[in-house]
Amino acid sequence: MTRSGACKSTLLTAFLVSLFGCQGLDITAEPDQAPGVKDKNSVAAPKSLAPTDLALIRDTGRVLVGDDWNSALQVFPEPKGSFEIDDTPAGFLRPYGSKEWERAKEGFGTILYGDKIAVAMYSLDGADVDRLDSTVQRYTNAFPNIKPSMFFGARVKYWFWHQANQTLMISGLLTDRDGVRMTIALGDDMPLAAIGVTETRAQDDLPKVESLLSRSARPKPR
């Protein structure tokens, strides 16, 4: 999600790009094509923007599907030194749009449908295992009646909560350089599938990611 050098991927351009940033992990699979998508250049409308119990949670409040950008900024205010971006991912035609802010190791972004949030995503580089564990526990406590699905590798972990037509995902990626890269995404299942945030994608890509991380961690020959 960060922008450095030649890598200028935005937070929501594609889930795997936002997850791995500019570390050079070459994952070329296309995001899942959501049901109802007419073609790869057009993402269908959300099933519903009515809020559910699922939310992005902070001490400052909660962000729900159906909120607007200004109310989301009350929960995820722009930090000093960040910059705003309006760069809607490919395939999200109007009335879809996007807004996000980024700084060096942190970002918050949304995909909007009209002026309502269809997807919200927060990403943090340089966290640690304790931060990831406490975040997962916080969400587990917040949704006691929703049991998450979990997919774990040696370096990559995913948790998925589902309610109605919405999904909340937490992913943690253990890197050699940046500690834990944590991503939390919430949204309607239609646009989430279009950026690759699905259980199926997580299960399919987990062994590939583990293999790539293992290769990238090997010392280079002298």
pLDDT at 110: 93
SS3 200: helix
Q: How many helices (H) and strands (E) does the chain have?
A: 5, 10
pLDDT at 126: 84
Q: Is the pLDDT of residue 204 over 80?
A: yes
pLDDT at 105: 85
The set of long-range contacts for 57-64, using a CB threshold of 8 Å and a minimum separation of 24, is: 57/138, 57/139, 57/142, 63/117, 63/120, 63/186, 64/117, 64/186
pLDDT at 216: 61
Q: What is the DSSP string of 85-135?
A: E--PPTT--TTEEEEEEEETTEEEEEEEETTEEEEEEEEEEEE-HHHHHHH
In the chain, the percentage of residues whose pLDDT exceeds 90 is: 49
130/37: higher pLDDT: 130
Give pLDDT tens digits for 9-28: 344 333 444 444 433 333 33
- Structure tokens of 146? 């929703």
Beta pairing partners, 97: 112
Q: What angle do CA 200, 177, 212 make, to 5 degrees?
A: 40
pLDDT at 127: 86
190 to each of 34, 118, 148, 214, 219, how far by Cα in Å? 6, 9, 19, 32, 41
Give pLDDT tens digits for 30-65: 444 444 444 456 899 999 999 999 999 999 999 999
Nearest to 27 by CA among 39, 38, 18, 36: 18
Q: In terms of pTM, does the model score above 0.85?
A: no
